[in-house]
A and B are shown apart, each in its own frame.
Chain A
Amino acid sequence: MRRCRAISESLELPEPFDAAELIARLATSRGRPIDLIAVAARPGAPCGLLVTTGQADYIVYAEDTSALHRQHILVHEYAHLLLGHTSEPSPDPGLTGGLLPNLSPDLVKKVLGRTVYLEPQEQEAELLASLILKRALLPGGRTRGDEWAHRLSPLLGSRRANGPHD
Chain B
Amino acid sequence: MAGVETSTLAQKIEALFRTVRRPNREQYSNEDVARACREATGETFSATYLWQLRTGKRDNPTKRHLEALAQFFNVSPAYFFDDRSQEIVAELALLEALRDAGVRNMALRAVELSPEALDTVSDVIETIARREAARDKPSR
B110 cross-chain contacts in A, Cβ below 8 A: 45-46, 98
**Known interface pairs A53-B128, A103-B75; A116-B106 also in contact (CB < 8 Å):** yes
A77 cross-chain contacts in B, Cβ below 8 A: 107
* B94 near A35: Cβ-Cβ < 8 Å: no
Within 8 A of B (CB), among A44-90: 44-56, 58, 60, 76-77, 80, 85-87
Q: Is A107 an interface residue (CB 8 A)?
A: yes
* A108 near B95: Cβ-Cβ < 8 Å: yes
Q: Is B125 an interface residue (CB 8 A)?
A: yes
B132 cross-chain contacts in A, Cβ below 8 A: 53, 55-56
State how many angstroms separate the Cβ of B94 from the closest Cβ of chain A: 7
Q: Is A6 an interface residue (CB 8 A)?
A: no
* Cα of A37 to Cα of B101 in the assembled complex, Å: 15
State how many angstroms separate the Cβ of A54 from the closest Cβ of chain B: 6
CB within 8 A of A107: which of B75, B114, B128? B75
B53 cross-chain contacts in A, Cβ below 8 A: none
Q: Say which one of A16-24, A117-125, A142-150, A152-160 lies at the interface with B.
A: A117-125
CB within 8 A of A48: which of B88, B98, B109, B114? B109
* B114 near A53: Cβ-Cβ < 8 Å: no
* Cα of A102 to Cα of B131 in the assembled complex, Å: 28
* A86 near B94: Cβ-Cβ < 8 Å: no
State how many angstroms separate the Cβ of B101 from the closest Cβ of chain A: 6
Q: What size tier do the contact residues of chain B reach?
A: 35 or more
State how many angstroms separate the Cβ of B93 from the closest Cβ of chain A: 11
* Cα of A86 to Cα of B109 in the assembled complex, Å: 14
Q: Is A100 an interface residue (CB 8 A)?
A: yes
CB within 8 A of A49: which of B95, B104, B107, B118? B107
Residue with the greatest number of chain B CB neighbours at <10 A, chosen from A56, A102, A117: A102
* Cα of A77 to Cα of B105 in the assembled complex, Å: 13
* A111 near B20: Cβ-Cβ < 8 Å: yes
* Cα of A86 to Cα of B73 in the assembled complex, Å: 29
A1 cross-chain contacts in B, Cβ below 8 A: none
CB within 8 A of A103: which of B95, B102, B106? B95
* B104 near A116: Cβ-Cβ < 8 Å: yes
| Binary contact track B94-124/A, C-beta < 8 Å → 1, others 0 | 1110110111111111111110111011001
Binding site for A on B (CB under 8 A): 19-21, 23, 73-76, 78, 84, 87-88, 91-92, 94-96, 98-99, 101-114, 116-118, 120-121, 124-125, 127-128, 131-132, 135
Q: Which 8 A/B pairs are nearest by Cβ-Cβ distance?
A: A52-B105, A45-B117, A86-B105, A46-B110, A50-B107, A107-B74, A46-B108, A44-B117
Supply 15 A–B pairs (Cβ within 8 Å), ascending by A: A37-B127, A42-B116, A46-B117, A51-B124, A54-B102, A55-B102, A58-B131, A99-B108, A107-B20, A107-B74, A110-B20, A111-B20, A111-B95, A112-B95, A122-B107
